[in-house]
Amino acid sequence: MAVWDTKAPWGFVLMLAGAAGVAVNYPDHTCAVKGSTVTLLCTFTPLKSAILDGSEVFFRVTRVCWCKNHLLCHGSTPSVYDSQSESNDPRYKYLGDKTGNCTLQISDVQKEDEATFRFRMEGNHRVTHYTGRSGVNITVSDGARMKVNSSVTEAQVRAGEKVTLYCTALCTFHRMEVNWFKDGHALSGSGPALRLSPLTAEDSGSYTCSLRVNANTLSLPYSLQVEAEQEG
């Protein structure tokens, strides 16, 4: 659902009543772990033209903004990002444009980000001002334990095979940096997938992982046993 600027001339609004396709498309409800980075993938379709007094008038978007917990996101409403502001909080990075991409990235997510975020576009005519009212809801987790899952179900695997260990959480991520450990010793790499191939007996051990930004999320150990290749 969208909200049009209530100050727009009524006659003009009636002529726009048939304008199709104007919309803001948000992602589903998003869950983020405190301290992580979350990306809100978003697209929008602005009002590009309309018939006014018998002539076609073309519009362009001149301002875009994101706010939280406000239905209209306009006027003096505090925003987390405003394309016309020079003092935006650096935690909120606009990855979009003024033509159709309204993606917002939030870094170092905090509990205060547990809110409903809405996007608004404004054009070179006030009748084009439009807010995507549905918004996207963000839930922030304080950081429950991570969990290590394996690409294989067997407790024991053979040397020469391959295994991928996944560091997962209750929340889903567009980007997640983790620390991996084997027998308590840090491993290289920061991605949520740890690929071991080809396996050797030296890969046997206890694997754990945690969010790079929160050591308290350290997972319970996952035991991997690699059976040595049989000679002959």
Verdict on whether the full-model pTM lies above 0.85: no
Per-residue pLDDT reduced to its tens digit, 184-201? 999 998 888 999 999 999
From 84-93, 139-148, 157-166, 220-229, the region with the lowest mean pLDDT: 139-148
Per-residue pLDDT reduced to its tens digit, 38-80? 999 999 999 998 888 888 889 999 999 999 999 989 878 899 9
pLDDT of residue 212: 85
Average pLDDT over residues 9-28: 63
pLDDT of residue 19: 52
48-65 CB burial, b ≥16 within 10 A, e <16:
bebeeeeeeeeeebeebb
Task: Report the share of the chain in percent with pLDDT over 90.
Answer: 59
| Amino acid (one-letter) located at 150 | S
Per-residue pLDDT reduced to its tens digit, 84-138? 999 999 999 999 999 999 999 999 999 999 999 999 999 998 889 999 999 999 9
Q: Are 223 and 182 in contact (CB under 8 A)?
A: no
pLDDT at position 37 over 60: yes
Rounded to the nearest integer, the mean pLDDT of the chain is 86
3-state helix, strand, coil in the chain (%, to 5): 10, 40, 50
Q: Are 16 and 73 in contact (CB under 8 A)?
A: no
pLDDT of residue 61: 97
Confidence grade of residue 166 (pLDDT, cut at 50, 70, 90): very high
- The 8-class DSSP code of residue 13 comes to H
